[in-house]
Copies of this chain bind each other. A is one copy, B any other.
Amino acid sequence: MFCGLDIGGTKVLGLAVSPEDPVTPVATRRTATINDGDALIASMVEVINGLEADCGTTFSAVGVGVAGLVESTGMLRYSPNIDVVLDLDVRRRLREELRRPVVVDNEATAAAWAESHYGAARGARHVALVALGTGVGTGFVLDGRLYRGWNGFAGESGHMTIELSGPEHVTGASGPWEYYASGTGLGRLARQAAERGDFESATAAAGSVRAIRGEHVHDLVAAGEPDALAVLDEFCYYTAIGVANLVHVLDPEMVVIAGGLVEIGEPLVRGVETWTHRLVLGGSQRRRVQIVPAQLGSNASALGAALLAAENQY
């Protein structure tokens, strides 16, 4: 049995994964992410020990996916969403605590590996996973192999500049992709539409323009509300700008849309697909890249991390 952890900006998710049926976790635990290195390590150990108690087993190895710059050695250099934590050697610290093999990787990279083994990208050799959540994370399978880059920092594509004269993001950069294509970005687009008087259904649902969040767009899209569909289309356009950038750089055969926002479903995925095909160079002269929703849901990163742990072990 293997353990997979996903350390996101807000939560730590832990899965106990059996090699016989990896997509159905034997046990699941969650806790809040703590923006402090020692406390974060302690909470990870607690989740792992808890999962072992749940299953009555000892894990052969532990895999961890983290949102941020994770070196191939397992050192977390910097995470925009856990910003107090710098240079935390997650792998060494967990190995000392657990005395068993530990693998640490970026959470979107781990999710890409899981989707390419057990999810939407089975059989595809060139895959870009695009996780739309608090920010935008990406992970790549290139020529059938997980791609990590020089430091292990590949796939920080949410920080690509797409609007140089655009507003300043929390990172200090101007107009990066994730400023627009994240859950935060969707909420902002919705509030801007409401301020123009173009999204009164959202104002009504939220109680005020200021209270509008991405979730309101989600609910109103599900109800087929035309103003919500217009806001979603604008969001899909911004998302597709970055997807098209990735297509120009990497020429993947498949883009897997993942992260919390994929719960919006078909209208999101079809919108991104339509815009991407309009934006890609020489669109009529090339095969259409497949744009598909992730299949493993919010478990993908933790599952991929467990898979990496299992592979490292054997």
Contact = CB atoms under 8 A, between A and B. Distances in A.
Interface of A: 69, 77-78, 80, 86-87, 125-126, 138, 142-143, 145, 147-166, 171, 173, 175, 241, 244-246, 248-253, 279, 281-282, 285-287, 289
B248 A157 contact: yes
A151 to B, nearest CB: 6
Contacts of A153: 251, 286
A71 to B, nearest CB: 9
Contacts of A165: 163, 165-166
B248 A156 contact: yes
Contacts of A251: 148-156
B241 A161 contact: yes
A186 B276 CA distance: 29
Given A156-B249, A281-B159, A287 B151 contact: yes
B289 A150 contact: yes
A78 B285 contact: yes
A210 B173 CA distance: 34
22 contacts: A69-B286, A77-B282, A78-B281, A78-B282, A80-B281, A87-B285, A125-B150, A143-B147, A148-B251, A149-B251, A150-B289, A151-B286, A156-B248, A159-B248, A159-B281, A161-B162, A161-B244, A164-B166, A165-B165, A165-B166, A173-B281, A249-B250
Contacts of A80: 281
Contacts of A249: 138, 154-157, 160, 245-246, 249-250
Contact of A171 (B152, B157, B281, B285): B281
A138 to B, nearest CB: 8
A44 to B, nearest CB: 21
Nearest to A172: B281
A152 B125 CA distance: 13
Nearest to A76: B285
A281 B69 contact: yes
Contacts of A161: 162, 241, 244-245, 279
Contacts of A281: 69, 78, 80, 156, 159, 171, 173
A154 B250 contact: yes
A250 B285 contact: no
A147 B142 contact: yes
Leading 7 A-B pairs by shortest Cβ distance:
A149-B251, A78-B282, A150-B253, A77-B285, A78-B285, A154-B251, A153-B251
Contact of A241 (B155, B164, B287): B164
B149 A250 contact: yes
A150 B254 CA distance: 9
A142 B147 CA distance: 8
Given A77-B282, A173-B279, A248 B150 contact: no
- Interface centre among A142, A143, A150, A165, by most chain B C-beta atoms within 10 angstroms, is A150
Given A153-B286, A163-B165, 15 more contacts: A77-B285, A78-B281, A78-B282, A125-B150, A126-B149, A142-B147, A142-B149, A150-B252, A160-B245, A162-B162, A163-B163, A164-B241, A171-B281, A245-B249, A249-B249
